[in-house]
Amino acid sequence: DTEVTQTPKHLVMGMTNKKSLKCEQHMGHRAMYWYKQKAKKPPELMFVYSYEKLSINESVPSRFSPECPNSSLLNLHLHALQPEDSALYLCASSQVGTHTDTQYFGPGTRLTVL
Amino acid sequence: QQQVKQSPQSLIVQKGGISIINCAYENTAFDYFPWYQQFPGKGPALLIAIRPDVSEKKEGRFTISFNKSAKQFSLHIMDSQPGDSATYFCAASKFTSGSRLTFGEGTQLTVNP
């Protein structure tokens, strides 16, 4: 099973709302990632967790708060977002080994901030 | 130094034709070059990848050609099919970058029946 699942598929929120995106994998991967992807652009790395600890934060604004409760789950908590944060948010996972380990992506959550 | 330049931005090919997408990089520390395929409404999926110690890698209809001296690599899709219509991203990474992939800007491929 090489599936990464993400919920919800679509999310519409106002700028004052608090919401969370969820990601789950059961491949035994100990590295999990959040990416942001704008239309017709490549994915942009936001956060990386390795063994449930935050290892990379690509200077993401604090209105995005990641959480890795266990080795299979990854959350992204959203608060006070801006309309320009509207995008496809992708979760990915991989083995923790070398930089050549394949990253498996989920289908993404399409986020619209009004 | 971290950029990967990809061309063309869009490509239209007839069924049965050859699709060619090119990428160029500057940072000679890059040593792993994957290609990702993304269908609408889906996340990217690894298609094929190459290390610079080989000049070509083939998997089915998909071939990566790698020119280390020119710092260029390309994806060739032989016998292109309508089902190959997707966005293709080249990427590069290096040992010291850990999990970071540097992506190209993407190529939207349309294969007409």
Determine, for residues B99 and A100 on separate chains, whether the beta-carbon distance falls below 8 Å.
Answer: no
Assign B82 to helix, strand or coil. helix
pLDDT band at B98 (very low <50, low <70, confident <90, very high): confident
Amino acid at B94: K
Give how far Cα B12 sits from Cα of A23, B23, B109, Å: 35, 18, 6
Region of B98 on the Ramachandran plot (φ > 0 left; ψ -120 to 50 alpha; else beta):
left
| Chain centre distance of CA A106 | 9
Question: Average pLDDT of chain A?
Answer: 94
| Interface touch B99/A90, C-beta < 8 Å | no
Q: Which residue of B has its CA nearest to A4?
A: B43
Predicted confidence at residue A61, as pLDDT, reads 96
Verify whether the Cβ–Cβ distance B89 to A42 is below 8 Å. yes
Tell whether A89 is within 8 A of chain B (Cβ).
no
Q: Does A87 touch chain B (CB under 8 A)?
A: no
A9 alpha carbon, distance to own chain's centre: 13
pLDDT digits 0-9 by tens, A9-23? 999 999 889 999 999
Confidence tier at B1 by pLDDT (50, 70, 90) = low
Q: How many CB atoms lie within 10 A of CB B75?
A: 24
pLDDT bin (cut points 50, 70, 90) of residue A1 is: low
User: What six digits make up the tokens of B54?
Assistant: 């080989």
CB A90 within 8 A of CB A108: yes
Q: If you average pLDDT over every residue of chain B, what do you get?
A: 94
Q: Which of B88, B99, B103, B109 to mutate to test the interface with A (most CBs of A within 10 A)?
A: B99
Closest chain A residue to the Cα of B98, Cα to Cα = A99
Question: Which of the four pLDDT bands, split at 50, 70 and 90, describes residue B94?
Answer: confident
Residue-wise pLDDT tens digits, B33-85: 999 999 998 999 999 999 989 999 999 999 999 999 999 999 999 999 999 99
How many Å apart are CA A13 and CA A104, to the nearest integer? 27
The predicted structure's pLDDT at residue B2: 63
Q: In what order do the strands lie in the sheet with A4-7?
A: A4-7, A18-25, A73-79, A64-70
Q: Could you tell me which residues come within 8 angstroms of residue A69 by beta carbon, excluding any fewer than 6 positions away?
A: A52, A75
